């Protein structure tokens, strides 16, 4: 790494960049054997720039270079026979600071190409931009390139970068996506300090994500919306578990005379058992049985049934998106039905003659999807916007459960036929009543038309 960066040919300001993180480490003793906590590092990175370029772009740089006369003024130093102002900065990433200074001097030829700059460097640039309150009239040329990756794991820092550079495109969708894609992660006791209780952070795709650089209002929105939605879903599943009263779900099935339906509901029962007895949904999961192929399936199922008995304090430890994928097992047992059809079926359960087990599953699926159908995102301006789930989760975009499918047309035709038959019956009764009132029936009998 260079120790000097010659940014400008018209130098009147020299910046000395110090790394003070070494002060947190034990310092070597001085010659007299005492420890000196203010020992200087071996090297200082120097930048040769024009003061005007920094002052026009940043009010903080302006105050550092030309402070109020009542305060101590910067030192002066001679460079190439010219007196220059000397200021010191601390703890900025040296390469990122050099890029920022080149941007402020419009040295486009000195900037790295898209292929040569990393996401970490762009993040360091944003940190410097925010620290010195640099104007957004000047923007790094790589922002649009990295914006394409903003929804991917490991790019959560876009919440900070997008806010810093006032890049609002896709910001609402990203915040809404994180609401359903993050989950709690225990950082253990002492994470918030030696005497702190257990600290809970956020994880995404199984990895801890740092949220300290997120704007405060964004962090608060994502965590609160995630917690609220998880509580609502948890309540739905706990209530469902209560409904079985410790019994096997298939005990609700009343389709004993219909072998195909009974077999399908047996599979549905097993899927419900697997979902509600999942260890990840228990605060204190029971010790699992050894993974031994010699253990009969009935014993393994009995173990899951013991888990489902009663109601414990459940806590889903994954993301909302992951829980939705788990619910897909139940959805798959519902054949090719979709949400619109399910709503119609639940409103006309007596017409469809739904089995109690199937009806309970349909109601849970409907309530579950209604809860997450719309997710609240937040923009860089703090405005909260409703975002459809299908715009956030890839597998929800093409899920037949959320889209009208061909399989439901027969049910639609059947309901149409039932309604037409009902209308025809009502009209027939009305015509018959009118006929009786007018004595048409008597005339028809007398004339011999009706015997």
**pLDDT tens digits, 161-181:** 999 999 999 999 999 999 999
Q: How far is CA 184 from the centre of its chain?
A: 12
Q: What percent of the chain has pLDDT over 70?
A: 69
Do residues 216 and 333 touch, judged by C-beta distance below 8 A?
no
Encoding tokens for residue 443? 């005339």
Task: Measure the CA–CA gap between 47 and 17, rounded to whole angstroms.
Answer: 8
Does the structure show a pLDDT above 80 at 413?
Answer: no
Does the structure show a pLDDT above 70 at 318?
Answer: yes
Task: Measure the CA–CA gap between 25 and 23, rounded to whole angstroms.
Answer: 5
Q: Which residue is it, tokens 């009010």?
A: 59
- Residue 317's pLDDT band, with cuts at 50, 70 and 90, is confident
Does the structure show a pLDDT above 90 at 217?
Answer: yes
Cβ-based neighbours of 138, under 8 Å, separated by 6 or more:
57, 103, 104
pTM of the model: 0.74
User: Average pLDDT of 271-281?
Assistant: 71
Encoding tokens for residue 186? 């225990």
Residue 191, pLDDT score: 53
Task: Write out the DSSP string of 332-365.
Answer: HTTTT--HHHHHHHHHTHHHHT--HHHHHHHHHH
3-state SS assignment for residue 252: helix
Domain boundaries, the chain: 4-148, 224-404, 413-446
Nearest to 412 by CA among 344, 335, 334: 344
User: Average pLDDT of 408-425?
Assistant: 55
User: Average pLDDT of 385-407?
Assistant: 69
Residue 89, pLDDT score: 94
Gyration radius of the chain's alpha carbons? 34
Does the structure show a pLDDT above 80 at 61?
Answer: yes
* 86 or 341, greater pLDDT: 86
Main-chain phi, psi angles of 174, to 5 degrees: -65, -45
The CATH label, of 3.40.190.10, 3.40.50.2000, 3.30.710.10, 3.30.160.270, for the domain at 4-148 is 3.30.710.10
Task: Measure the CA–CA gap between 268 and 299, rounded to whole angstroms.
Answer: 19
- Residue 330's pLDDT band, with cuts at 50, 70 and 90, is confident
Using one digit for the tens of pLDDT, what is the confidence trace for 348-360? 766 777 788 888 8
- Residue 142's pLDDT band, with cuts at 50, 70 and 90, is very high
- From first CA to last CA, the distance across the chain in angstroms is 111
* 94 or 199, greater pLDDT: 94
Cβ-based neighbours of 312, under 8 Å, separated by 6 or more:
282, 283, 284
Encoding tokens for residue 251? 């005990």
Does the structure show a pLDDT above 50 at 376?
Answer: yes
Residue 51, pLDDT score: 95
Q: In the predicted model, what is the mean pLDDT of the chain?
A: 78
Strand intervals (E) in 290-359: none
> Which range among 20-24, 180-184, 409-413 shows the weakest confidence by mean pLDDT?
409-413
User: Average pLDDT of 424-433?
Assistant: 64
Residue 291, pLDDT score: 41
> Which range among 85-89, 290-294, 338-342, 369-373 shows the weakest confidence by mean pLDDT?
290-294
Task: Measure the CA–CA gap between 370 and 66, rounded to whole angstroms.
Answer: 59
């Amino acid at each position: 790494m260079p120790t000097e960066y010659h940014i400008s040919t018209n130098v009147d300001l020299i910046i000395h960049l110090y790394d003070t993180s070494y002060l947190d480490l034990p310092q070597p003793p001085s010659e007299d054997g005492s420890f000196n906590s203010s020992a200087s590092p071996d090297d200082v990175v120097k930048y040769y720039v024009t003061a005007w370029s920094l002052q026009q772009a940043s009010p903080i740089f302006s105050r550092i270079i030309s402070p109020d006369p009542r305060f101590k003024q910067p030192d002066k130093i001679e460079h190439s026979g010219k007196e220059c102002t000397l200021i010191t900065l601390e703890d900025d990433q040296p390469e990122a600071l050099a890029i920022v200074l080149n941007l402020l001097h419009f040295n486009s030829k000195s900037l790295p190409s898209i292929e040569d700059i990393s996401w970490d460097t762009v993040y360091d640039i944003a940190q410097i931009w925010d620290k010195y309150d640099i104007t957004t009239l000047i923007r790094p040329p790589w922002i649009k390139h990295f914006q394409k990756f903003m929804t991917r794991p490991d790019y959560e820092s876009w919440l900070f970068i997008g806010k810093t550079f006032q890049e609002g495109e896709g910001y609402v969708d990203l915040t809404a996506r994180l609401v359903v894609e993050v989950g709690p992660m225990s950082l253990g006791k002492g994470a918030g300090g030696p005497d702190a209780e257990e600290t809970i952070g956020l994880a995404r795709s199984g990895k801890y994500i740092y949220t300290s650089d997120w704007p405060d209002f964004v962090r608060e929105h994502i965590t609160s919306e995630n917690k609220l939605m998880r509580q609502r879903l948890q309540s739905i599943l706990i209530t469902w578990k209560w409904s079985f009263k410790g019994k096997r779900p298939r005990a609700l099935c009343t389709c004993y005379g219909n072998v195909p339906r009974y077999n399908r509901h047996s599979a549905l029962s097993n899927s419900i058992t697997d979902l509600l007895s999942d260890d990840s949904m228990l605060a204190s999961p029971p010790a699992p049985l050894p993974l031994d192929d010699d253990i009969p399936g009935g014993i393994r199922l009995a173990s899951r049934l013991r888990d489902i008995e009663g109601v414990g304090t459940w806590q889903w430890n994954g993301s909302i998106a992951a829980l939705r994928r788990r619910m897909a097992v139940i959805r798959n047992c519902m054949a090719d039905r979709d949400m619109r059809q399910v709503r119609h079926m639940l409103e006309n359960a007596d017409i469809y003659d739904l089995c109690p087990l199937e009806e309970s599953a349909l109601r849970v699926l409907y309530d579950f999807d209604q809860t997450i159908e719309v997710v609240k995102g937040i923009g860089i301006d703090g405005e909260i916007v409703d975002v459809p789930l299908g715009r956030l989760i890839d597998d929800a975009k093409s899920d037949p459960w959320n889209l009208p499918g061909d399989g439901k047309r027969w049910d639609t035709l059947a309901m149409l036929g039932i309604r037409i038959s009902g209308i025809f019956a009502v009209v027939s009764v009305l015509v018959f009543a009118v006929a009786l009132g007018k004595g048409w029936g008597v005339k028809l009998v007398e004339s011999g038309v009706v015997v």
